[in-house]
């Protein structure tokens, strides 16, 4: 959408931009090719002793480049998502394994074990775990060999459920589906192009200047970033394991890792998403620039004087694409759930609909009560799904309505699966000042605002 807006803006302002004049000294700098004054083009600024900032032909070429860039970015995103899902396909069998009796036996919550002797401990709790330099070196190379191990999936799943859900959810919650829905939400961000990403693209476009040899070093920037992101994700898993060991050498049941935002750079799991987004866009930018310059000017040209330039761009693009989609993306999808908060996609479609309906109706009643002057203060209200520190409704603040207003249902396999027949019952009239007394055999009206049917009554 942003690229379309920029293209439209260039079309509208094309005549005005081509009439902007700059001094010759400025105009002769930052050329992608060696400047030669051929004098075979029309420049209205020559009469003023200046030259154009950008010609109409240059704006036309920029239009073509934006179109090619959009196509390359979409193709790269589709390939990345497809290869990532292919790598994550085995996680379904891992999730099914958590429902087996064998898994329940080996992860008996009443069983005492040494933390270092668990499968997770043997993988992460070693002598190098205490030394930051060795930790980063090991984690850097570990991302190339089984970036996501089965024991890591089981341990992070157990830690997520212990932190955010009830203990009874261990056998019913489908962590793999939750990860898939989270990844789908993240890719809605990755497919788009934010103003920050576009600004970076403009900066890199300006680096294609004669004498800077950007084709030798620019393709390596996204490679370095994606390798650092993969190493950081491995470091986060190991640090969570070290915190388990810090709580005691002997543990009861499976190791319980504790999700926390302070494990991530700048305390923000979303920053890693920005870096992956940046890498994908920059990689698409490199290929788009190669395709555009070859299509418009052929080979050889001042953009690609040597075959080494093309080889470097194409090979780096393929390597980065493989690393980002098949190595880093699955690791990110798993480790990104280890933040301090749950994602809004924890709710299935029906639960999100029920919560939002309850929320909107409750807000309407509060507004009506204030208008009539009969509402009680928030401080005197009993706890409800809308009030209190444990309210899950904050998760719905950024929740896209299209996610839960679709016509199909999803069987998520967790505690909210019985929300299929969820009932939102709001009393049209209530006496707030004189609520019915519990001793009179009736329950407070707020308990009827939001309810789920009992499992035992399900047929």
Phi-psi region of 259 (alpha: psi -120 to 50; beta: other; left: phi over 0): beta
Residue 292 near residue 64 (C-beta atoms within 8 A): yes
Write out the H or E segment, with its range, that includes residue 270.
Answer: helix 269-297
**pLDDT value at position 33?**
73
Helices (H) and strands (E) in the chain, counts: 17, 4
Question: Global pTM?
Answer: 0.72
Partners of residue 251 on adjacent β-strands: 113
The dihedral built from the CA positions of residue 13, 15, 21 and 26, taken in this order, carries a sign that is positive
Count CA atoms closer than 13 A to 163's CA, side-chain side.
18
Residue pair 378/446 in contact (Cβ under 8 Å)? The answer is no
Characterize the bridge pairing of strands 51-52 and 112-114.
unpaired
Element (H, E) at 402: helix 401-404
Secondary structure (DSSP) of 37-63:
----S--TTGGGT-EESS-HHHHHHHH
Measure the CA–CA gap between 319 and 329, rounded to whole angstroms: 14
pLDDT at 1: 60
Query: What pLDDT sits at residue 444?
Result: 46
Coil, strand or helix at 112: strand
| Closest C-alpha to 360, from 388, 393, 400, 382 | 393
* pLDDT for the residue numbered 453: 44
Tally of CB atoms within 10 A around 342: 19
Cβ-based neighbour number of residue 381 at 10 Å: 15
54 to each of 19, 50, 198, 214, how far by Cα in Å?
8, 12, 19, 22
Q: Give the burial class of 179: count Cβ atoms within 10 A of its Cβ; 0-12 exposed, 13-18 middle, 19 or more buried.
A: buried
CA distances from 420 to 18, 349, 403, 410, 451 (A): 61, 9, 15, 9, 12
CA dist., res. 114 & res. 137, Å (int): 26
Say whether the peptide bond before residue 300 is cis (omega within 30 degrees of 0). yes
pLDDT at 356: 66
Closest CA to 414 of 342, 356, 363: 342
pLDDT tens for the chain, 459 residues long, are: 666 677 777 777 777 777 788 787 776 777 777 766 555 566 677 777 777 777 778 788 888 888 888 888 889 889 999 998 888 888 999 998 888 888 888 887 788 888 888 888 888 888 888 899 999 999 999 988 888 889 999 999 988 888 888 877 777 888 888 898 888 888 888 888 788 888 887 888 777 777 677 777 888 889 999 999 999 999 999 999 898 888 888 888 788 888 888 999 988 888 999 999 999 988 888 888 888 888 887 777 777 777 888 888 889 889 999 999 888 999 999 998 888 887 776 666 666 566 667 767 887 778 777 766 554 444 444 444 444 444 454 455 554 544 434 434 444 444 444 333 333 333 333 444 444 444 444 444 444 444 444 444 443
C-alpha closest to that of 334 among 223, 192, 186: 186
- How far apart are alpha carbons 334 and 269 in whole angstroms? 12
Q: Is residue 448 a contact partner of residue 384, using CB atoms and an 8 Å limit?
A: no
The CA-to-CA distance between both ends of the chain, in Å, stands at 47
Distances, alpha carbon 169 to alpha carbons 181, 340, 404, 422, in Å: 18, 19, 22, 19
């Amino acid at each position: 959408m942003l690229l379309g807006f920029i293209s439209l803006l260039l079309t509208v302002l094309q005549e005005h931009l081509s009439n902007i004049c700059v001094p010759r000294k400025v105009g002769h700098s930052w050329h992608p090719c060696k400047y030669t004054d051929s004098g075979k083009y029309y420049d209205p600024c020559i009469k003023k002793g200046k030259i154009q900032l950008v010609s109409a032909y240059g704006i036309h070429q920029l239009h073509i480049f934006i179109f090619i860039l959009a196509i390359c970015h979409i193709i790269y995103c589709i390939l990345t998502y497809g290869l990532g899902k292919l790598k994550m396909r085995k996680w379904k069998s891992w999730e099914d394994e958590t429902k087996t009796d064998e898994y329940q036996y080996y992860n008996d919550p009443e069983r005492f074990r040494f933390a270092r002797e668990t499968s997770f401990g043997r993988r992460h709790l070693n002598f190098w775990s205490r030394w930051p330099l060795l930790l980063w070196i090991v984690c850097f190379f570990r991302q190339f060999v089984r970036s996501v191990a089965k024991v890591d999936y089981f341990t992070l799943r157990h830690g997520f459920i212990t932190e955010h859900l009830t203990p009874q959810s261990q056998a019913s919650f489908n962590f793999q589906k939750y990860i898939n829905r989270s990844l789908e939400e993240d890719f809605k961000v990755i497919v788009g192009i934010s103003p920050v990403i576009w600004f970076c693209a403009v900066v890199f476009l300006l680096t294609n200047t004669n004498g800077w040899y950007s084709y030798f070093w620019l393709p390596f920037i996204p490679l370095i970033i994606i390798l650092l992101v993969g190493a950081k994700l491995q470091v986060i898993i190991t640090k969570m394991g070290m915190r388990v060991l810090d709580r005691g050498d002997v543990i009861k049941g499976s190791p319980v890792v504790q999700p926390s935002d302070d494990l991530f750079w700048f305390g923000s799991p979303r920053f890693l998403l920005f870096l992956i987004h940046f890498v994908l866009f920059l990689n698409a930018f490199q290929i788009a620039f190669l395709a555009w310059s070859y299509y418009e000017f052929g080979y050889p040209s001042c953009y690609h004087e040597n075959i080494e330039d093309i080889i470097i761009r194409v090979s780096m693009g393929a390597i980065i694409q493989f690393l980002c989609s098949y190595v880093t993306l699955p690791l990110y999808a798993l480790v990104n759930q280890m933040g301090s908060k749950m994602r809004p996609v924890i709710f299935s479609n029906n639960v999100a609909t029920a919560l939002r309906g309850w929320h909107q109706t409750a807000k309407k009643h509060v507004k009506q009560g204030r208008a009539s002057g009969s509402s009680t203060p928030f401080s005197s209200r009993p706890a409800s799904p809308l009030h209190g520190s444990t309210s899950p409704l904050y998760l719905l603040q950024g929740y896209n309505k299209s996610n839960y207003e679709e016509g199909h249902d999803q069987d998520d396999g967790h505690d909210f699966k019985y929300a299929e027949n969820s009932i939102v019952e709001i009393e049209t009239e209530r006496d707030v000042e004189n609520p019915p007394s519990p001793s009179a055999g009736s329950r407070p009206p707020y308990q009827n605002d939001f309810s789920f049917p009992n499992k035992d009554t399900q047929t």
